[in-house]
Structure 1
Amino acid sequence: MTRYAVDQVRNALIAYWSTGIGEVATTVAELPPGPNALRLATCLTELSQACWRCYTHPASAADQHGPGSIGWYRRRERDAFTVVVPALTRHHRPVNDASSATGVEKIAYRVGRSLHALGAPRVTARIITEVAAELAAIEQAELGDLRARARQAVVLSREDASPLQVAQADAILHRHPFGAEELFTQIEPTAAAVAAAHWLHAAAVTIAGQSRLHPARLLTEVDRVKAAARDSLAEIIGAMNAGSSPWQAVMPMIRNALHVAEGHLRGVAQAKHRISAAEDLISKAHDNHPELNLGLESVYLPISPINPTRPALDLLENLLTGIHSCWALYTHYADTFSGREPDGDPPRLRRTEAFLTEVRRAAAARRSHLL
């Protein structure tokens, strides 16, 4: 989303947004003197947030679509894009429209009232151009095109994944199976995570064939994988071993984390499982370390295996860590089976190339299951 601020030295309205490797800023308009500039900046930020939420939470991703359902409300919010720009020049909402207006529409009218309070026609004209550009960027991102201003979508977690973006991420991972900066700067993170899950499974299948370990057990062999990442990776690999596509394995985890971020717990059975695991941990601690005096109140229970504030990016990072871990296991078992210790860069380089060749072959064999 785009954030707006006031440069108080120049008394100018500034817009800035993320690009995956930093933030860019642009001057929107020079402002007249007065106390209303900050209110305008706040309203514009809220409008951008509400509109980009239509991108991250599309109606197509909702479980229900009948009248009054979540899908129905999301569709109304997205349809309200058509009234946003006209609302900027109206500081009063029609009386008969007050109760039925969407959240997007209400915020647009608040922007209109802030512009009316400024009383600066030139500023209003610049804001209309600015808001139209923001809406166009969202529509462009919905089509899977993250160039220019739509690039800000690379830091947003979405409840759906663009097939075009998944294909682009898959092409990047074919060139760079360990990951590349383009995954974080050119691809929406949900789509990148779907593709990365596909490549993690290919890496797990590759190392499983060499180590004779079941793919679900592989990550328990790697000490450097943090516990939270291990949980998410085990869940992904387990789902795909059971026949799920990468999309089917990734999307429920990201969607659940997004619900947690908004204060909702979805999947009571899974929550019960996590609570039971915490109770088992406390019980074992009492038996082995009674001096710790652990209790349910003192144990932090992760509601989601990925960070709810940035779920898609967190999962993508975990998946790439998993691919690196598979490579580390591959080289370890290659050294073990050859009866030699690692002996320098050339042999390691050959083993890395062999690993990448096998991973690419495994990924190609399952490409039809990518979505």
Structure 2
Amino acid sequence: MTRYSIDPDRHELIATWGTGEGDLATRVATLPAEAGTSVLLGLARALSLLSEAAWRTYTHPASAAGSQEPNSEGWRRERERGHFGEALDAIAKPNLPSGGSMVVSYSPLIESANRVGRALHHLDNPDLTKAVLAEAATELAAVESSELGDLGGRAQQAVLLSREDASPVQVAAADRLLEQNPFGTAELFSAVDPTAAAVAAAHWLAAAAEVTAEASGDDPAQVVLEADNIEALPHETPTLVLGLIEDGATRYDVVTGLVRHAMHVADGLLPDPAGLREQLENLEDALTEYTDDEEADPEDTGLRLTPLDPRRPARDLLEDLLTGIHGCWLLHSEYADLDTDEDLGDAQDWTDEQAEEHQRRSRDRFAQLVRDTAAANRDRLV
């Protein structure tokens, strides 16, 4: 979301937003010099709330809620998204106090727009009102562009957000980046919606696991866990994803399900009571075991409600999946590189440069095998 602030020295309203590579800022308008700081801060706060409400319609789309029946969650989300066309009108002509009362909207988006409008009404500056209306239109257009998979301009802030759905356009964009480099690129984090990027990364992880399993003889769902014996890896999430895919789940369903679950936890909801009950039963067994162990650390029995970081679930998942691909290469190289690169001489006599060349060749060979497997299974991407 875009955050708005006041520069008290220059009397300017400033907008800032993240891009995945850093934050950008722009001057929205010059503020009336005679206006009090409290009133101006109220305007900035209302604009920030408007942006937050608008972007929530992107991160929580109606399509991800299931039912669209009246009064259902999907129905409420669809109605909220439909208020975009009314938001600018609410800024221009807000609900004002009348007769000791005031109409307040149930819609967070519309009520935030009304708050912006009331702040502007109090300031009574036509030029400022015009500038704020243009800024609000820019922000709403950025959300609309993100929904279409176009993350240019202001819409680039979507790369920092977790979404319950994944745009096919963005999944395809991430797939092209991974085809260039199956180990991942910086652009996956700066140019693509992270949920969509994670869907593509899950597809490429599955391909990497298949290639590795053929070389090592291990179960494809267990290769990242095996790689943890070579190098310490965050293997839990990649192993979970591979297991779900092996059980027949689609890449899209696995990723959006995990991200949605973590987002619900972040919202204070309990999305899987049955799963929690099973975790609690396992925790009870663990507590009994640890009670008899004098050297046990009680913190080791902590219960995680989600395997992802609920503050940034999609990006956390993307990072873990790319690490999983790296883990697949580690294990693959243990089996497939035994008799390669003989032109470099005896491995025991390699210089640092020769060792680096061997590693580069190993990664290149593995990357090509993964490309071939991913391409052969492209129909499973979404």
CA distance in 2, matches of 1:167, 1:256: 24
Greater alpha carbon shift after TM alignment, 136-145 vs 96-105: 96-105
Match for residue 289 of structure 2?
Answer: 284
For structure 2, list consecutive stretches of 5 or more residues without a partner in the other structure.
none
Q: Displacement, 1:336?
A: 5.3
Which of the residues 340, 357, 365 maps onto 1:346? Answer: 357
* Aligned counterparts, 1:54-93, within 5 A: 54-92=57-95
Note if 1:113 corresponds to 2:124: no
CA distance in 2, matches of 1:320, 1:94: 54
Letter in 2 for 1:77: E
Note if 1:367 corresponds to 2:378: yes
Which of the residues 269, 274, 289 maps onto 2:279? Answer: 274
Preserved contact between residue 335 and residue 341 of structure 1 (Cα < 8 Å): no
CA distance in 2, matches of 1:193, 1:248: 11
Q: Displacement, 1:37?
A: 0.6
SS in 1 for 2:6: strand
Preserved contact between residue 219 and residue 230 of structure 1 (Cα < 8 Å): yes
CA-atom RMSD in angstroms = 2.2
CA distance in 2, matches of 1:367, 1:27: 45
Greater alpha carbon shift after TM alignment, 99-108 vs 52-61: 99-108
Preserved contact between residue 50 and residue 109 of structure 2 (Cα < 8 Å): yes
Letter in 2 for 1:218: V
Preserved contact between residue 13 and residue 27 of structure 2 (Cα < 8 Å): yes
Note if 1:175 corresponds to 2:200: no
Match for residue 11 of structure 2?
Answer: 11
For structure 1, list consecutive stretches of 5 or more residues without a partner in the other structure.
none
CA distance in 2, matches of 1:293, 1:256: 28
Which of the residues 312, 327, 330 maps onto 2:329? Answer: 327
Letter in 2 for 1:359: V
| Residues 71 and 225 of structure 1: CA distance in aligned 2, closer, same or farther (over 3 Å) | farther
1:9-61 deviations in Å (ceiling 9; x for gaps): 11211000000010000000111132311010000000000000001101111
With normalisation by structure 2, the TM-score equals 0.90
Q: Displacement, 1:279?
A: 2.9
| Residues 237 and 16 of structure 1: CA distance in aligned 2, closer, same or farther (over 3 Å) | same
Match for residue 52 of structure 2?
Answer: 49
Letter in 2 for 1:221: E
Which of the residues 262, 268, 282 maps onto 1:263? Answer: 268
Which of the residues 293, 311, 314 maps onto 1:312? Answer: 314
CA distance in 2, matches of 1:347, 1:143: 43
Match for residue 198 of structure 1?
Answer: 203
Q: Displacement, 1:219?
A: 1.9
Preserved contact between residue 219 and residue 225 of structure 1 (Cα < 8 Å): no
Which of the residues 302, 305, 318 maps onto 2:304? Answer: 302
Match for residue 356 of structure 1?
Answer: 367
CA distance in 2, matches of 1:97, 1:312: 40
Letter in 1 for 2:77: R
Match for residue 246 of structure 2?
Answer: 241
Preserved contact between residue 175 and residue 201 of structure 2 (Cα < 8 Å): yes
SS in 2 for 1:6: strand
Note if 1:189 corresponds to 2:194: yes
| Residues 269 and 168 of structure 1: CA distance in aligned 2, closer, same or farther (over 3 Å) | same
Which of the residues 10, 35, 40 maps onto 1:37? Answer: 40
Q: Displacement, 1:316?
A: 0.3
Q: Displacement, 1:233?
A: 1.2
SS in 1 for 2:92: coil
SS in 2 for 1:305: coil
Preserved contact between residue 238 and residue 320 of structure 2 (Cα < 8 Å): yes
- Between the two proteins, the alignment pairs up a number of residues equal to 366
| Residues 330 and 341 of structure 1: CA distance in aligned 2, closer, same or farther (over 3 Å) | farther
CA distance in 1, matches of 2:12, 2:245: 52
Preserved contact between residue 225 and residue 321 of structure 1 (Cα < 8 Å): no
Preserved contact between residue 91 and residue 113 of structure 2 (Cα < 8 Å): yes
Match for residue 132 of structure 2?
Answer: 127
CA distance in 2, matches of 1:311, 1:65: 25
